[in-house]
Structure 1
């Protein structure tokens, strides 16, 4: 699944709808999370303007007047929806990725402005994550930064950042490196900037898609950049790698395996470390195999 997140600053406007539809098609988006819809109610016709297909599912949280509002839309061919948990500041949809049977929880976040309100939100999300099963991905407008470098010409609140960092640590969440841009929101003609839009994923998600691409795109009809996470293909199991019996009989076959196993240095969750260790051993065996084939050909 490929993901799109965008603080819309209002769902209306044909130009904005065409812009979102172009993003959806260009990046093969199968799940989109929108914040600040500013809509009290929705219907399929409104969503169809954003989606380049009629085969979609949708859940939303109504705005409070012209403030807030969350919308999550997905491709029904790829995501099998089962339930939703709604709050003014988040919309969590639960289901399975079709073709894999993987249970996944997708949280569309629009955090409040005040520090205490965000702390309450982090605590509640942590409780939901701890009590759940399956993969997790949180995407949206977190209205918080992790470090001072994620703000430009705006005040860095160490207490807010500390709470946010603690939440990410306690929930064991991870983040991909963002490409193309360093910040995601621009105000006052770009004089004030911050990185408050992001994707956070659990170790299991990261382990399945370690090479996913996270990008911040050009903004047009919002002061927030759209952000996309392209997971790329995964077959939900280790990559196939044949080892022929004849190789085992070659002198020195055990050396690259032993050296790779002893030289590997890993960090992070144990399951991800094990996956990376197997990949490291695999790469060293491939190098050894290619060298042996070259020598035989000579």
Structure 2
């Protein structure tokens, strides 16, 4: 069954079986990238103690499926806390925590402040970093589209981010009834020296090709100049200034567009919660979330490149 998910034989897996109505946990990893030392199965979580082959980093992968009751969740947080406190290496905790951190992460169901406080205390006690999620706000919804929650996330130790400083996570479109998959990746690119800073996301933006062509064709330089290299540098400076103006206007428009899209999603969610949704309304919601996700993706690509540039400057 694990191989049917993975597609080849280059993997190992660990699992915790389902219990009563509660589902189980299945973790699969590429043996060429992750060399595991030990696997342990606990109540509510599975631990793979391993070495990330390419970096030599010792990592504890902790896959969680939290129970419903507060008392059981509190025991789970204690068990994970004790494991991390007594282990070496960095940690990444992932899965269904069955808990939210604040009221904004839940819609259509009651928010329990005390339960959220216990969860936040667990995160803060280990100085864990909650990796921000791009895309849709919620990772879970009931089959009627009346309740929404952010139950799934990635929590990492601060040392993990030192090795992978460009981490980002994206909530993807749903492909199973009540859950959205989340993709965690590090977008690291060596951009190398360039004549001036240019963001790769610009090539995916409408109007960028036009502003470059039109500016280059219409830029005016001193008619007394005869040196081709000087003329080229003058035209390049003019182009840079125009691109800066265009980029500033574009992101102002993008921010405004994202807010408008989110404002359109909110009333749809309210109608779905009140069981007034139709198939057309749900399709409209999916389309709006896709546009938000596309905007978030472009912003994350820029953030990754900015981090790379800053890292290069510090190193230099």
TM range (shorter): 0.5 to 0.7
Bigger relative contact order (CA 8 A; separation at least 6): 1
For 2:41, the equivalent position in structure 1 comes to 86
Q: Which has the higher strand share?
A: 1
Distance, in Å, in 1 between the alignment partners of 2:134 and 2:128 is: 19
* Cα distance, 1:284–1:202 mapped onto 2, change above 3 Å: closer
* Cα distance, 1:57–1:128 mapped onto 2, change above 3 Å: same
Query: Which runs of 5 or more structure 2 residues have no equivalent in the other structure?
Result: 194-306
* Cα distance, 1:83–1:160 mapped onto 2, change above 3 Å: same
Deviations 1:146-174 (A, max 9, x none): 01000001110011100000000001100
Greater shift after overlay, 63-72 or 135-144?
63-72
Runs of 4+ in structure 1 over 4 Å off? 279-282
For 1:283, the equivalent position in structure 2 comes to 313
Greater shift after overlay, 215-224 or 155-164?
215-224
What's the TM-score, normalizing by structure 1? 0.63
Distance, in Å, in 1 between the alignment partners of 2:56 and 2:312 is: 27
Q: Displacement, 1:88?
A: 2.7
Q: Displacement, 1:54?
A: 1.3
CA contact (8 A) 2:38 2:50 kept: yes
Aligned pairs (5 A) from 1:242-257:
none
Q: Displacement, 1:179?
A: 0.5
Q: Displacement, 1:191?
A: 1.6
For 1:170, the equivalent position in structure 2 comes to 125
Deviations 1:233-288 (A, max 9, x none): 499xxx999xxxxxxxxxxxxxxxxxxxxxxxxxxxxxxxxxxx9x85963898xx
Q: Displacement, 1:120?
A: 0.9
Q: Displacement, 1:62?
A: 1.4
Query: Which runs of 5 or more structure 1 residues have no equivalent in the other structure?
Result: 1-45, 242-276, 287-298
Q: Displacement, 1:122?
A: 0.5
Q: Which has the higher helix share?
A: 2
Q: Which structure's CA Rg is the greater one?
A: 2
- The reply on whether 1:221 has 2:176 as its aligned counterpart is yes
